[in-house]
Amino acid sequence: MTRPLDGILVVSIEQAIAAPYATRLLADLGARVIKVERPDGGDFAREYDKRAREMASHFVWTNRSKESLTLDLKREEGVAVLKRLLKKADVFVQNLAPGAAERLGLGDETLRAENERLITCAISGYGEGGPYGKKKAYDLLIQAEAGFVSVTGSPGQPAKAGISIADIAAGVSAYNTILAALLNRHKTERGDHIEISMLEAMAEWMGYPMYFATDGAPPPPLAGAGHATIFPYGPYRTADGTVIFGLQNDREWAAFCLTVLQREDLAGDARFKGNAGRAAHMDEINEAINGVLSRLTTAEAMARLEKANIGTASLNDMAALWAHPQLAARNRWQEIAIPTGTIPALRPISGAAWQPRLDPVPALGEHTRAILDELGITQEEAVALAASGKDE
């Protein structure tokens, strides 16, 4: 079996989520990913929590199938080892503070002078230059700057996403652009430089609300788990819980009225024709929906919705997602090794002809000795350069 990125070497100086997620996606496709970490604790995401079988949940998610190399990049010797590694690499990813790579002698032009096929990728909060170029950028801050918080939540209660969506946007953008650069390298035989800004990645994902508010028009109203422009769409209370459903067109509206609400009069009411008509009479329609669903159990409501062929969903928590019958039926879970034992991992989407990598999450410095030996560094040099106690 051959994976798409078999034989590709990725070296990454990475912390937190955006860069580690991008490189994990590359590892899923078969790339060899060497994660360069500080000797004194490594990637600080290792210590975010201990919820994933005594390991950090973010770290387990974004760092499987990698090798951990510990180097002290404050020392010239450590930087020299990294440069030796980069001479044979295909991709170099870093999310150091703006300007830090250049100060270490790891600027893209400097590195490509030694390895013209090298693809370099720098991930930062706001991108190089500009008035925000040197600002600190965490996921929450970028969610706010990109306007995401302003369109999420309920009236009077703006909210951030429950996941690191700005980091994920940047990671996916980096992953996609690195793949494009690798394809382009087949044509040019030369590497390239990629600059990923979390703000710009998130701004791309904000396309719908930005266009909705074109030329100073009001932005989408806050709608909680509902939708700012499609109605009815979202969660509704039942006698014993909640159902979530959405309608997309007049055909579904008629079926909903006849089968779920059992109100033929609403199905034929001209005021409710088209999504705009329904949205204009939201309060009246909600009153009718709540009057019916509040008397039904969740199971009864779901049965009516399914009979009407209305799209529905369960309001699952994390335990329900772990136990989701569809994921189990499609064999989407596989155990992977972590330093404290094993843990299930969601199998990445792959082609029919190959299977994704699902290799262990590395302990800090676990591969340092082997990588240094591979570079021809003597044991005496390794003792001085290696990072962790077990390597010394």
Q: Are the CB atoms for 191 and 112 separated by under 8 Å? A: yes
What span, in angstroms and rounded, lies between the C-alpha atoms of 109 and 116? 9
Q: Which of 90, 167, 192, 391 is catalytic?
A: 167
Determine how many CB atoms are found less than 10 A away from the CB of residue 77: 14
Sign of CA dihedral 181, 114, 121, 365: positive
Whether 6 sits among the annotated catalytic residues: the reply is: no
- What is the torsion angle, in degrees rounded to the nearest 10, for the CA atoms of residue 20, residue 25, residue 31 and residue 36? 0
What span, in angstroms and rounded, lies between the C-alpha atoms of 219 and 99? 36
Q: Which of 193, 200, 34 is nearest to 122 (CA)?
A: 193
Q: Which of 231, 223, 240 is nearest to 301 (CA)?
A: 240
Q: Annotated active-site positions, please?
A: 167
